[in-house]
Amino acid sequence: MADRAQALVQRLPELEADAIVVTSLVNVRYLTGFTGSSGLVVIGPQTRVFATDFRYREQSAAEVDSGFDRRIVTTDLLDEVGDALPAGPLTIAFEDGTMTVRDHARLAETLGDRVSLVPAGSPVQELRAVKAPDEVRRIAAAAELADAALRDIMAQGLVGRTELEVAQTLERAMLDRGAQAASFQSIVAAGPHGALPHAQPRDAAIDAGELVVVDWGARLDGYCSDCTRTLATGDLTDEAHAGYELVREAQLAGLAAIRPRAGGRDVDAAAREVIEKAGHGEHFGHGLGHGVGLEVHEAPRLSWRSDSVLADGNIVTVEPGVYLPGRFGVRIEDLVHVTDAGAEILTGVPKELITVG
């Protein structure tokens, strides 16, 4: 963890800052190990200060990396920033993507004229995008657990059960297998409902002969997984069958484009081109994928709007879809580790069309 703070210090010159105050809790966790709901850190070349409130005295003692000077604060945490900083006029970077306007005003007021605040962008998110081997292992373990939970659900059958019941059973299966939580609200969407990419599970029975989109993930040891499979509940129409095979082909094209230094935009284009050539470009309205780690959506992004460039150690999803309003939807999503050898797939459920009665 000490090297994470050091990596952040190395970003300070380009931010033209003497130190950075990190207030986003997920970033505080990444830098210190602290999992509570109140904390901030101040990091500079000679500064490693972690502040929390009295409720977390013991938890922070157990969790926070020993390289930090740990302070228990009885007032607003932001009031501690000034005390944590060295003397003299200073420029301090803050996380402008997550700090509230109110907190920024409070920080400026408490620091006064000797400190000027500069926006940092999201340097910790950029560090988080490249996973250390132990993080890869944790994400792989979350993915494996989620795979096993889906197999539990498939063994129970789908036809006649409601989307909501299947989603709840899937989430319970993840908890039973040791997950801390689902990493997001599971999607189970059958037939025409599957044409909504972010469908909420309904209290409506799943019929035979439909496609069912299942998008789910587990949180384990703080790290998320994310996966989608589209299952069949019996014989499909030719159109639905062709839709499935098209998405599968696009997904494989996306995977094949994954490598360090590939642009997020180019990987997206590799999969999108397959769908566009089949005349379904307008039915694939979302980006191809996103990073996954402590958060289920994080850097880098794979989309036509992305400026991301992939690096060895990224973990991203590859999840093209085709959504035909009023008819059906298909999405296939794998979680992959970007390595010099290409995409290492962390999802274990097969992608050939699986029929579950």
Contact region for Zn ion (CB under 5 A) — 129-137, 150-158, 240-248, 332-340?
332-340
Among 18, 226, 268, 295, binds Zn ion (CB under 5 A): 226
Among 63, 147, 163, 215, binds Zn ion (CB under 5 A): 215
Q: Three-state DSSP class for 330?
A: strand
Site string for Zn ion, 168-207 (x = CB under 5 A): ----------------------------------------
Binding of Zn ion by 60 (CB under 5 A):
no
Among 166, 317, 343, 347, binds Zn ion (CB under 5 A): 317
Q: Three-state DSSP class for 30?
A: helix
**What interhelical angle do 238-256 and 264-277 show, nearest 10?**
150
What is the C-alpha separation between 204 and 200, in angstroms, rounded? Answer: 11
Output the smallest distance, CB 184 to Zn ion, in A.
7
Contact region for Zn ion (CB under 5 A) — 33-41, 224-232, 234-242, 250-258?
224-232
Output the smallest distance, CB 211 to Zn ion, in A.
16
What is the C-alpha separation between 111 and 82, in angstroms, rounded? Answer: 6
Contact of 330 with 230, CB cutoff 8 Å: yes
Given the complex with Zn ion, which of 27 and 317 has the nearer CB atom? 317
Q: Looking at this protein, which amino acid is placed at residue 143?
A: A
Binding of Zn ion by 80 (CB under 5 A):
no
CA nearest to 219, candidates 26, 4, 22: 26
Going by DSSP bridges, is the β-strand pair 227-232/298-302 parallel, antiparallel, or unpaired? unpaired
Give the Cβ contact number of residue 2 at 10 Å: 12
Contact region for Zn ion (CB under 5 A) — 22-30, 38-46, 110-118, 208-216?
208-216
Contact of 188 with 171, CB cutoff 8 Å: no
Given the complex with Zn ion, which of 32 and 186 has the nearer CB atom? 186
Q: Residues in the site for Zn ion, rule: CB under 5 A? A: 215, 226, 228, 317, 333
